[in-house]
Amino acid sequence: MGAVVLVAGLVARIGRRFGLPTIPCYLIVGILLGPGTPGPVFVAHPGDLSLLAALGLVLLLFHLGLEFPVEQVLSSGRRLFLAAGFYIGLNISAGLALGFALGWGAAEALVIAGAMGISSSAIATKLLIELRRLANVETPAVLGIIVIEDIFLAFYLALLAPVLSGAGSPLGFARDIAISFGFLLLLFTIARYGARVIGTVIGSREDELLAVLAIGLVVLVAGLSEEVGVSDAIGALLIGLVVSRTAVRERVERVVLPMRDLFAAVFFVTFGLSIDVGDFGAVAIPVAIAVVVTVACNVIAGVWTARLFGLNQRAAANIGLTILGRGEFSLILVTLALAAGLDARIGPFVALYVLILAIFSPLLAARSRLLARVLPDWLFRENWRYVREETISTACTHLDQIRVTETDQQECAECVATGDDWVQLRLCLSCGVVRCCDDSINKHATAHFRQTNHPIVESLEPGEHWRYCYIDNTLVRPPLGQRS
């Protein structure tokens, strides 16, 4: 086990040099060093690591609940919930339809729907940081979608638990559903009213004791969840939500993080160890279809979100491709499915699906400009013909130089003086002069900036309301929720 984890860490370190997330690296190492591939077999019986892998799963979900920004979600506004609901509904529906089309049964279809419907928050967050898009105007929408996905995951796991348990009658199924959602309600109630008591139980000035008490609580609640017929993942997620409302939240997060990373790596490697590459051939075509469907659904959802917030093609491409990756949640769902005895082909299907998207999503997200070029203007609320490929930023420090926002001028005075024509007009927001755009012969708007250093211009074309900063070389807009 030590050798496998060490190799996985080394491969992940190499992968990071090429911009790859760690999850596919762990999976690949597990697949290559397991009994399902020719060559060296480091762990002949992956089941020997099942307890450690389960601990990795529990810590992953606990840390997710610990970081969960409840107030941010509740204050996100109607548009964000509409965007997230559309994204989740579209991807879940596509996954469910594909699952039934493959003929794998209702339980398998629900697992496939979840695996295809929930993106990897770890991969998405990492992409936002590495691609330097934290100040982009669409980034709050991206973060909001993945946070709301986390809420949806808790309820989806609660719904899936009775299905995986194989309730024998409608009455038994209804009872299991009631137990699952009743347990959710209990933990939500504890999070709302009992956080102070939980903080007192696990609180300690010594980091060692804090770690022991916190991990003990997490594993206990996860175990109790499984005993009452609810997934241990739900229990871990919701006890994380409880601890997030205590005074020791930040310290718990700090002491648990290294253990989460270590045991999560064991979880992903163990999943890879259980995969037989010989099964990939039987699922290759369904996986290819699933990847194409997911890319299409993400692009559609990105356009829908951009329409809701009045953003352009580049923002739509950034949204859809940033949350394209699938990872930890997909593997958690399929692990629960395999443990319940569902169709064994789900394992290689989801493994290959996650591998492909985890590798290609960073590559596609970094090249979102190419997708932005082909998205037509009629899909959006405004005409972005000349700036469809430009990033819209909220980090411009020159907004305080805006003095003029309206004008009655409808011509470029300098072009009129020389007898030239213009293509489009731009309004200088510092002094109010109107000049022609860079597609015009004289490019007077840019010339005016070079003479005066007035940074921001606004399009005067009908149906266009964008602003551009010459100094930052980007479209600019105040953060979502603030008035322009």
The verdict on residue 207 lying in a domain is: yes
pLDDT in tens, 249-306: 899 999 998 998 899 899 889 988 988 888 888 899 999 999 999 999 999 999 999 9
Q: Are residues 240 and 336 in the same domain?
A: yes
pLDDT in tens, 432-470: 999 999 889 999 999 999 999 999 999 998 878 789 999
Q: Are residues 346 and 459 in the same domain?
A: no
Produce one character per residue of 382-410: b if its CB has 16 or more CB atoms within 10 Å, e if not: bbbebbbbbbbbbebebbebbeeeeeeee
Q: With cut-offs at 50, 70 and 90, classify the pLDDT of residue 483.
A: very low
Q: Are residues 204 and 346 in the same domain?
A: yes
Q: With cut-offs at 50, 70 and 90, classify the pLDDT of residue 166.
A: low
Q: Are residues 135 and 251 in the same domain?
A: yes
User: pTM for the complete prediction?
Assistant: 0.75
- Mean predicted confidence (pLDDT) in 404-423: 91
Can you give the pLDDT at residue 184? 74
- Final residue before a domain boundary, out of 310, 340, 374: 374
| DSSP-derived secondary structure letter, 405 | -
The domain spanning residue 153 has which CATH number? 1.20.1530.20
What's the domain range around 201? Answer: 2-374
Looking at the predicted structure, is the pLDDT value of residue 177 above 80? Answer: no
Report the distance separating Cα 465 and Cα 469, nearest Å. Answer: 14
Looking at the predicted structure, is the pLDDT value of residue 233 above 90? Answer: no
Q: Which residue has the tokens 């009455």?
A: 171
pLDDT in tens, 320-363: 999 998 987 888 888 888 888 888 889 899 989 998 998 888 88
Can you give the pLDDT at residue 181? 76
- Report the percentage of the chain scoring pLDDT > 70: 94
Looking at the predicted structure, is the pLDDT value of residue 70 above 60? Answer: no
Q: Which two tokens stand for residue 260?
A: 């989460």
Q: Are residues 410 and 359 in the same domain?
A: no
More confident residue, 189 or 216: 216
Can you give the pLDDT at residue 130? 73
User: What angle (nearest 5°) sits at the alpha carbon of residue 14, between those of residues 10 and 16?
Assistant: 115
Q: Are residues 456 and 344 in the same domain?
A: no
Can you give the pLDDT at residue 244? 85
